[in-house]
Amino acid sequence: MTLEESDRPIPPDDAKNPALWGWPTLLSLVITVAVFVLMASYVDVASVWRHVAASDIRLLFLAALSHYATYPVRGARWRKALKQVATPCRTGRFGLLVFFYTFVDNVVPAKLGDVYAAHLARINCGIRRSTALGSIVFLRMVDSWVVLFLAASSSWILFAAAFPESVTWALIAAFAVAIIASAVIVFFFLLKHAAPSWMPESIRQRINAFQTGMLPNPGETLRILFLTLVIWALESIWIFLLVRAFKVNVNAHEAVFLTMIPVIATAFPVTPSGAGAVELTLFSCLRLVGIASPLAIALTVVNRFLDYWLHIFLGMIVWLVRGKIGLHTWRTRPAGGDSPTTAFAAAVKSEKLP
């Protein structure tokens, strides 16, 4: 097993925590609340409740289960993307980290959850933040191209005769995200061979660590791609079961379309996880596949309750029991002993790990 920068100890565990809370986050939350209040004024609560009461609760449960089943798979994929890095964390721990940082991403804007994810990997698994962030960017790039392909394919099958302008713009946005993520990977790859001589050594180390994370072992590439396809298959099944629970027939292409286009809206940086933009996009997509407005509103409300609000609620529970499950969520050095990073670095240095 290879340790990143194995000739150096892992840096001290007293680096600054990522700055998630400040005026940008507060402003984003204010905007989010205002958007939700505005949208709620257009919701007929009685109509939504009638549709929910008439739905198949068993299918709703299976739909939610399919969605939340993606987190262990995402954790396994993240672990494989970091297979080249020595860490005491197993696959299950990575799944927990993915679930928790996604919860954080649901309450902070501009994908700051990804920065926090790197911090979680640091304080729980002894992985350098730069290395963890490199792996996250790599996985975002893989996801962006897969989502773009699936969104474009399903949209073409459904609307080849008359392509909606809104879908066109969504695909353009998805292409831009994929290009930007790919450009970051290419930039750091080229920087590895052409780093300016004046660059401080500390910056060079961070660049090297980022490169370590963004380039998984070649033998893991197919496994990562397979797990990516499993993730998006489960997400599509979740939407398919959700719509079927409301007794609406949709085919595979429509289910994929209803999954992928709203996912693109989660990249909207102003609100947490694109809150507001996702709801409007999902509602518009439901209308495009022929679902009547009252039912489309009910589906949107239930979708966001199970995907967004329930996740926030469950994330808060995980935070409350973090001590019992051994999850370090903020402090760089847990009370009562060495941090995972410090202990792991000591073990590596003394060759106690394989």
Q: Tell me how crowded residue 201 is: count the other CB atoms within 10 A of its CB.
A: 7
Helix runs in 217-339, H state only = 221-245, 252-265, 277-288, 293-304, 310-320, 322-325
pLDDT digits (tens, 9 = 90+) for 15-63: 556 666 666 667 777 777 887 788 887 888 899 999 999 999 999 999 9
Question: What is d(CA 156, CA 6) in angstroms, rounded to the nearest whole number?
Answer: 49
Q: Please, are residues 8 and 247 in contact by the beta-carbon 8 Å criterion? A: no
Mean per-residue pLDDT over the chain, rounded: 84
pLDDT digits (tens, 9 = 90+) for 308-343: 999 999 999 999 999 999 999 876 444 334 444 444
Tell me the two tokens of residue 44.
């007929």
pLDDT digits (tens, 9 = 90+) for 237-296: 999 999 999 999 999 999 999 999 999 988 877 778 788 889 999 999 999 999 999 999
Q: Look at residue 101 in the predicted model and tell me its pLDDT.
A: 92
Question: What is d(CA 160, CA 317) in angstroms, rounded to the nearest whole number?
Answer: 45
What are the Cα distances from residue 274, in Å, to 68, 80, 177, 228, 267? 19, 28, 14, 21, 6
pTM confidence score: 0.84
Q: Which residues of 137-149 are buried (b: 16+ CB within 10 A; e: fewer)?
A: bbbbbbbbbbbbe
CA atoms within 13 A on the CB side of 274: 16
Q: Tell me how crowded residue 331 is: count the other CB atoms within 10 A of its CB.
A: 11
Question: What is d(CA 93, CA 127) in angstroms, rounded to the nearest whole number?
Answer: 13
